[in-house]
């Protein structure tokens, strides 16, 4: 009897999850979270500008928690800036993030304190900063290598009006 009830329940559940016959899958634009330009960020080495990118700013608990989860793309010169209330060790994970990214941990005085390159997509492993950080910048994987970013390099950012 239990088997019969369980079987009927499973069939009903499967039927409820089916789309209508001939229904099209959702468009990518319906499920994809689009990049939102909130400002710009420039990486520097000494007095030299290295590269300027567009940034989406995550400064609320909700935005920081969501981060780049469920994003399927990120502009080549785009990233997400996480702004925290205070400088302290930071930890990030890649669960629900299908992109490989570089994570750049930045001190309150705007200097890079550590870089985690090519973070594994969809991983539940925690990626820790090697020093206290107030900001974290997530950019496409390989970005730090492409532009030669190193610990000690700086950055400055501004919001788009």
- Residue pLDDT, tens place only, 94-132: 988 899 999 999 999 999 999 999 999 999 999 999 999
Report the distance separating Cα 76 and Cα 114, nearest Å: 21
Burial of 102 by CB count in 10 Å (0-12 exposed, 13-18 middle, 19+ buried)? buried
pLDDT at residue number 17: 36
Does some domain include residue 3? no
Q: Residue 100: which residues within 8 A CB-CB, separation 6 or more?
A: 118, 119, 120, 121, 140, 141
Residues of the chain predicted below pLDDT 50:
1-30
80: β partners: 56, 138
Does some domain include residue 13? no
pLDDT at residue number 30: 44
pLDDT at residue number 26: 39
Domain assignment of residue 66, given as a range? 37-159
Does some domain include residue 16? no
Does some domain include residue 54? yes
Does some domain include residue 28? no
CATH number at residue 149: 2.60.120.1140
Does some domain include residue 20? no
């Amino acid at each position: 009897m239990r088997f019969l009830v369980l079987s009927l329940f499973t069939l009903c559940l499967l039927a409820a999850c089916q789309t209508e016959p001939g229904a099209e899958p959702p468009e990518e634009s319906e499920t994809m979270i689009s990049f939102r330009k909130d400002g710009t960020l420039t990486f520097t080495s000494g007095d030299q500008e290295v590269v300027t990118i567009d940034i989406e700013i995550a400064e609320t608990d909700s935005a920081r928690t969501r981060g780049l989860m469920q994003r399927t793309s990120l502009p080549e010169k785009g990233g997400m800036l996480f702004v925290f209330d205070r400088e302290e060790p930071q930890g990030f994970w890649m669960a629900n993030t299908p992109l490989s990214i570089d994570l750049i941990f930045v001190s309150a005085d705007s200097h890079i304190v550590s870089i985690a390159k090519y973070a594994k997509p969809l991983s539940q492993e925690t990626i820790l900063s090697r020093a206290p950080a107030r900001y974290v910048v997530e950019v496409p994987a390989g970005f730090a290598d492409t532009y030669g970013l190193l610990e000690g390099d700086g950055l400055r950012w501004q919001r788009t009006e």
